[in-house]
Structure 1
Amino acid sequence: MIAAQGGICLICKKRPAVHVDHCHTTGRVRGVLCFNCNTAIGKLGDDPDAARRVVSYLEGNLWNPTFEAQGVCRQPS
């Protein structure tokens, strides 16, 4: 698996792939990641929705309030 990945982490594509990542529900191996990426997934609780919110946040799309009056804003639902 590591050789098939070119020896690098599937997520960051920068660091060596040294940690086997697996689904904690099914036990299925997903790939081999670096320590940082494997830890990040774990801290997100293996939650794809949380990962999508991370992407939105990094792209600047998560917090986009609508200003209703001076000092009053409404966050989109």
Structure 2
Amino acid sequence: MLRATDIDRWAGLSLWQHLAALIAESVMVVDRPHGSAHPEVPEYVYPLNYSYLEGADGGDGSGIDVWREPLVAVV
């Protein structure tokens, strides 16, 4: 639950600042690593780390989806 000080802090932020804060305060779980094949469409290989934010509700019952660049260069 948000405290009054949290509400004041969040009220002055832009959308991008909200998103940056949410990501910084969350645990990012890599669900499908860069280079892995999609489980239902194996021809599709993920060019990025397909992840979600643990404990954040994405509205579909799972975490908020995020994509993160791999730590190695994509050629």
TM tier, smaller: under 0.3
Larger radius of gyration: 1
TM-score by structure 2 length? Answer: 0.27
